[in-house]
Amino acid sequence: MNKPIKYAVASPPSSLDDFVDFFWMCQNDDDQEREVVVLPDGRIDVAFGYAANEPFNALLMGIGNAPLVSALPPRSLTFAISFKLLGAEYILPNSVANYVNKATLLENGFWGISKNDLKDFESFCKKATEKMMGLVSKKVDERKLLLFQLIYETNGAITVNELSEKIHWSSLQINRYFRRQFGISLKSYCNILRFRASFPHLKVGKLYPEQNYTDQAHFIKEVKKFAGVVPKELSKNKNEHFVNFTTFPKSE
């Protein structure tokens, strides 16, 4: 019988609320690889990890807008930081526009984190927090700050025109910014967040839209687009096949 996959999720300090969504850990102690489907949730991740007979490495993973079938290697361990989009712009060194549904290796010694730092999740979170606090140096554009506050507060259930009017930034400029910096349109990103907000409801068996969907057919279509399956199958989630860290309880 396969050993269960271990997960842990932790919240960032309030000083990083605008930049970091959460920290997470994933561990497969089994001698067999485990297939999982990672669901899109609007995050950009920097992950540090290793597996049996494989070297330690660091990866940057861009925004996902489709379900990602992945295999957790045997006896593997990953600690990671999940960024909000402002964090990707103001903390990470480069644009992530080229990494939609992709990952890229980061240089050895990125942020001074090594395999030894993966012995304790809480200590890792503290070390990563200290590093990020030192990197947030320039003042955040107030329009961008308000833009993301509105997007996250509404779980993406807001139109580009509404956002444009509220922050006094043209929809054309907003979409140019999104595509240049993150590789997708604002509307696409809002659709991902709306799906993300529906996942906790699906997890407890609510198969009807709780978010701002046109109707049931629209909801089913969007769930199938982002999960690859219809809401009923996703809600069952047999053997934790589908993974979305936003539904895990967070330690403070």
- Token code pair at residue 248: 């895990």
Question: Per-residue confidence of the chain (252 residues) as pLDDT tens digits?
Answer: 567 889 999 999 999 999 999 999 999 999 988 888 888 999 999 999 999 888 999 999 999 999 888 888 999 999 999 999 999 999 998 889 999 999 999 998 999 999 999 999 999 999 999 999 999 877 889 999 999 999 999 999 899 999 999 999 999 999 999 999 999 999 999 999 988 888 877 777 776 666 667 778 888 888 888 888 888 887 776 656 676 666 555 565
The length of the chain is: 252
Tokens 């997960």, residue located: 7
Give the CATH number of domain 6-136. Answer: 2.60.40
DSSP string, 45-103: EEEEEE-TTS--EEEEE----S-EEEEEPTTEEEEEEEEPHHHHHHTSSS--GGGTT-E
Q: What are the b/e assignments for 116-131, b being 16+ CB within 10 Å?
A: ebbeebeebbeebbee
